[in-house]
Chain A
Amino acid sequence: NAGVTQTPKFQVLKTGQSMTLQCAQDMNHNSMYWYRQDPGMGLRLIYYSASEGTTDKGEVPNGYNVSRLNKREFSLRLESAAPSQTSVYFCASSPRRGSSYNEQFFGPGTRLTVL
């Protein structure tokens, strides 16, 4: 049981390049999330998927797109990377059913630098 896995662990891009961050969970969780973490800013929600087949914007969605490929996988795409997107990106999942909240389990993060 690996929990939440993310690839790649590190990435350096040039401005304007595109890339996709991959996330997978093996806990049969319904909900998945993408966050970015910047120094002194805490975690900010980019997009989330409450259940397979749905996605919604979070606090900072501009410049990103997401795909909930199936129940296990939730990818984050940067179409045209900008230096402001240099950050650490975390994927998370939670069992979340109905109105009862469950804790979120986090992956190890992807450290992205855009030059």
Chain B
Amino acid sequence: GENVGLHLPTLSVQEGDNSIINCAYSNSASDYFIWYKQESGKGPQFIIDIRSNMDKRQGQRVTVLLNKTVKHLSLQIAATQPGDSAVYFCAETVESGYSTLTFGKGTMLLVSP
């Protein structure tokens, strides 16, 4: 929503820079992780996912790193563009059985031209 960014950590970068958004997850049993992007006034949109048997996964301009030892995820965006400005959420779940997604609080990314 329009005011979802209130009280969120904010990362400000210049266009063309690389961005790194961090997320600490809470459940050591979680084995599947997703990054979502939410633009102002819109619903979250899937960016990339990773399972716990991997520590790195690459997409188009994005890379997710997983460190299970310290329960940490990061999303790296290469050559950040103004269109990347949004709130980014990580989400975790235990894939077996029927576990639901638990979302982090989000980080706002602001990209200046």
In the complex, what residues of B have CB within 8 A of residue A45's CB?
A: 100-101
**Of the 9-residue stretches B14-22, B44-52, B75-83, which lies at the interface with chain A?**
B44-52
Interface residues of A in 34-84 (CB under 8 A from B): 37, 39-45, 48, 50, 58
Q: Given the complex of chains A and B, what is the CA–CA distance between A34 and B41 in angstroms?
A: 17
In the complex, what residues of A have CB within 8 A of residue B55's CB?
A: none
Q: Which one, A37, A58, A103, contacts B4 given CB within 8 A?
A: A37
The residue among B41, B95, B98, B105 with the most chain A CB atoms within 10 A of its own CB is B98
Decide: A99 near B8, CB < 8 A? Known: A42-B104, A106-B44, A108-B42: no
Shortest distance between the CB of B51 and any CB in chain A (Å): 9
In the complex, what residues of A have CB within 8 A of residue B32's CB?
A: 101
Q: On chain B, which size bracket covers the interface?
A: 20 to 34
In the complex, what residues of A have CB within 8 A of residue B101's CB?
A: 45, 104
In the complex, what residues of A have CB within 8 A of residue B105's CB?
A: 40-42
Q: On chain A, which size bracket covers the interface?
A: 20 to 34
Contact A103–B49 (Cβ < 8 Å): yes
A-B contact count (CB 8 A): 60
Interface residues of B in 31-66 (CB under 8 A from A): 32, 34, 41-46, 49
Contact B4–A88 (Cβ < 8 Å): yes
In the complex, what residues of B have CB within 8 A of residue A103's CB?
A: 34, 46, 49
Q: Which one, B44, B46, B93, contacts A43 given CB within 8 A?
A: B44
Shortest distance between the CB of A58 and any CB in chain B (Å): 6
Contact B95–A39 (Cβ < 8 Å): no
Residues on B lying within 8 angstroms of A by beta carbon are 1, 3-8, 32, 34, 41-46, 49, 89, 93, 95-98, 100-101, 103-106
Known: A42-B103, A48-B100, A108-B43. 10 other contacts (CB 8 A): A4-B43, A39-B3, A40-B7, A40-B105, A42-B89, A43-B44, A88-B4, A90-B43, A99-B97, A109-B1
